[in-house]
Amino acid sequence: MRLINDQHKLLVFIEGRKRKEFVGVLNHAPENNSFIFLYEKKYLINKSSIALGPDIPLSKIRHESK
């Protein structure tokens, strides 16, 4: 994972032995202290993709948490 220019966004990658793949973006909205994770569409349609966790399934693109 690496931080990009916007201090409220974090790019998320999954890294294997031979490649690194972009998974999505984690956004923090400080005005209401919420977090939004957006899966990359290419990652979602890949049959070998795995979910980031049980609370962030591959069944939808956008996940929000307070």
Q: What is the pLDDT of residues 15-33, one digit of tens each?
A: 988 889 999 999 998 889 9
Of the candidates 14, 5, 15, 55, the residue with the CA atom closest to the CA atom of residue 35: 55
DSSP-assigned letter for residue 50: -
Q: Taking 70 as the threshold, does the pLDDT of residue 53 lie above it?
A: yes
Give the integer Cα–Cα distance in Å for 2 and 12: 7
Q: Taking 50 as the threshold, does the pLDDT of residue 58 lie above it?
A: yes
- Which amino acid, residue 34? S
Q: Is the pTM of this model over 0.85?
A: no
Tokens of 2: 């690496």
- pLDDT over 70 for what percent of the chain? 92
CA 42, 11, 38, 50 torsion: positive or negative?
A: positive
